[in-house]
Amino acid sequence: MADNRVVVYKGPGEVAVEPIDYPKLEVPQEVADAMGMTVAAPHAVILKIVSTNICGSDQHMVRGRTTAPVGQTLGHEITGEVVEKGNDVQFINEGDICSVPFNIACGRCRNCNERLTGVCLNVNPARAGSAYGYVDMGGWVGGQAEYVMVPFADFNLLKFPDRDQALEKIKDLTMLSDIFPTGYHGAYCAGTTTGSTVYVAGAGPVGLAAAHSAQLLGAAVVIVGDLNDERLEQARSFGCETINVGDGGPIEEKINDILGVPEVDCAVDAVGFEASAKSGEEAPAVVLNQIQTITRAGGRLGIPGLYVTGDPGAPDEDAKEGTLKIRFGLGWAKSHFFYTGQCPVKKYNRGLMMSILHDKAQIAKAVNATVISLDDAPEGYKDFDKGAAKKYVIDPHGMIPA
């Protein structure tokens, strides 16, 4: 039996790569017991990980900003080669290289049938929706590993049509598991279309993916705001306008300097609950209020940035349970459309795959994909936490071409 290793949360600011059992074709016991399903999972496959990425959502856990316990396995951005499959897997075969949506979905419940795979009703006893290697998401083992089990494989997996082409473009295709669909979801739900002016709050990987997606959707101008100059430089590298939101003056004036008007057609919050004010102090509602202020009346707000119901490190008691001081009256007065929640990856990943395979999207360049080994994952987490303008792609088996 092959060995396996996985990245594990060891406490605030610390992760380690540790041995773990080789996966079995089984669902977590807690899911089986609560949901009335068998532990045995003939619908599942085991993947040899080709690439798995470090995500800002992982970083929230590693900073101690969730209720994740020590020992939580990490990693939900997974691309892999099928090395074993259950006897109920009909259309995926050993040797196939596939993208894994970070949403675990059964493909059978009402929400899955309505394409709301981010809130599947059958894979998490705690709430609707699940993910690999994430707190309160059903106990599924994380994919920053050498091998991982994927349930309901025929439904969940996106098979790449050609193995050699997939490996050649793997640094782009690895983004299909989360940040490319998530960024696209934010821009799409914000109503981005031909000629739109778009503001993206946050120049981390999801913000950069949202900005690139807005360009694919036909935006005339994409403005990215952040406090990190290195990340803003990365946004400029593929044609975005940028604003350092910490450099004095109201943001409306800075937008006016770019567009000639102080408002945009639509906005995307790619920051989430760990947002900071100009002073550097944490202010979890600041971005939500900012995008309401700068979006025109009748405009839309896409909010893929993560917000949580439990944040032990929040600046006040309300924020610790996800209760934020949002200027909802302003949004109401401006007839804003708010769209929040996990991206339903399967809604977008096939189309975005085709955009990559036919050279219409260059997401790896947009987010500065940077390949590291599994052993280098702890250092990657530290660099990412310091604000590195990179998207770290872990290569556990040396399969990514130089």
pLDDT in tens, 220-254: 999 999 999 999 999 999 999 999 999 988 999 99
CA–CA distance, 374 with 396 (Å, rounded to integer): 5
Residue 64: Cβ-neighbour burial (10 angstroms; 0-12, 13-18, 19+): middle
pLDDT in tens, 69-97: 999 999 999 999 999 999 999 999 999 99
pLDDT in tens, 326-376: 999 999 999 999 999 999 999 999 999 999 999 999 999 999 999 999 999
* pLDDT confidence band for 2 (50 / 70 / 90): low
pLDDT in tens, 109-159: 999 999 999 999 999 999 999 999 999 999 999 999 999 999 999 999 999
CA–CA distance, 283 with 287 (Å, rounded to integer): 8
For position 282, what pLDDT does the model report? 86
Q: DSSP labels for 100-149?
A: E-SB---S-SHHHHTT-GGG-SSS-SSSS--BTT-TTS-SPPPSSBSEEE
pLDDT in tens, 192-204: 999 999 999 999 9
For position 382, what pLDDT does the model report? 97
Query: Three-state SS for 182?
Result: helix
CA–CA distance, 74 with 54 (Å, rounded to integer): 9
**CA nearest to 303, candidates 338, 335, 336:** 338
pTM of the model: 0.96
Q: Which domains does the chain have, with CATH numbers?
A: 5-178+344-394 (3.90.180.10), 179-340 (3.40.50.720)
Query: Three-state SS for 50?
Result: strand
